[in-house]
């Protein structure tokens, strides 16, 4: 889980997918300098997070040096995803690890998933920002359900998910939609990221279906790293 920060304030969530890249919503990338915080849980504790089960080290901050937005993106209704390149390599630990993505898998694989998990520090009933990272379970709804609700055309490039008792809200944009699947072993895989929902934070949320964007994500990362490697060799 990644926290996207702008001018000292949390604006969105994201996910670590590579030692140099974080995935988030395209509408979270602004003209201001962004930073990314990894390994956080309770944002009121800067040096370390402690619960009754013990303590974890303090979070790590990184500067975003470049944003790569999916080219057809115009607004949050379609193709709402972006890659954030970090200024240095992330050192993985027990508390900071990349999440799995499926590349080259057909979008209909999504039909096997009935429930998702969503996490974020977004608005709750009692506060503008949740101090402690929240999570909830959402059901996988037919895309047509969201298309009717929001009055928009949608396709297999979208995911519609919701719950009668909980929902995403402002501040959750870019946060990962995940599910635990069996793929050679049990793995937590990211299938989407928060794009938009209803203004009252009730009802389903729309997510870009990452099964449709896996190749773009992989190719973009490979091209950026290859270009950086070539520049380094030519110095």
Catalytic residue numbers?
27, 80, 173
Furthest CA-CA distance within the chain: 57
At residue 43, φ and ψ (nearest 5 deg) are -75, -5
Q: Within 13 Å and on the Cβ side, how many CA atoms surround 51?
A: 7
DSSP-derived secondary structure letter, 114: -
Q: Output the CA torsion 137→40→129→51 (10° steps).
A: 80
| Helix (H), strand (E) at residue 146 | helix 143-150
Kindly report the backbone phi and psi dihedral angles of residue 224, in degrees, each rounded to the nearest multiple of 5, phi listed first: -65, -45
Angle at 6 between CA 80 and CA 226, to 5 degrees: 60
């Amino acid at each position: 889980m990644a926290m996207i920060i702008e001018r000292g304030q949390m604006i969105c969530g994201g996910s670590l997918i590579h030692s140099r890249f974080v995935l988030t919503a395209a509408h979270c990338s602004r003209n201001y300098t962004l930073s990314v915080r990894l390994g956080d849980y309770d944002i009121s504790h800067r040096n370390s997070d402690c619960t009754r089960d013990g303590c974890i080290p303090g979070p790590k901050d990184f500067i975003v040096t470049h944003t790569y937005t999916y080219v057809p993106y115009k607004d949050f209704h379609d193709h709402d995803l972006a890659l954030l390149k970090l200024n240095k390599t992330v050192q993985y630990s027990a508390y900071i690890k990349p999440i799995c993505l499926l590349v080259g898998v057909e979008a209909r694989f999504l039909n096997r998933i009935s429930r998702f998990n969503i996490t974020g520090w977004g608005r709750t009933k009692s506060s503008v920002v949740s101090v402690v990272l929240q999570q909830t379970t959402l059901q996988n709804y037919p895309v047509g359900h969201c298309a009717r609700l929001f009055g928009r055309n949608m396709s297999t490039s979208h995911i519609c998910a919701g719950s009668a008792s909980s929902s995403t809200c402002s501040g959750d944009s870019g946060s990962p939609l995940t599910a635990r699947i069996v793929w050679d072993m049990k793995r937590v895989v990211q299938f989407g990221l928060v794009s938009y929902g209803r203004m009252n934070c009730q009802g389903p949320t729309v997510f870009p279906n990452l099964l449709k964007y896996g190749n773009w994500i992989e190719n973009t990362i490979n091209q950026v790293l290859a270009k950086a490697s070539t520049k380094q060799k030519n110095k």
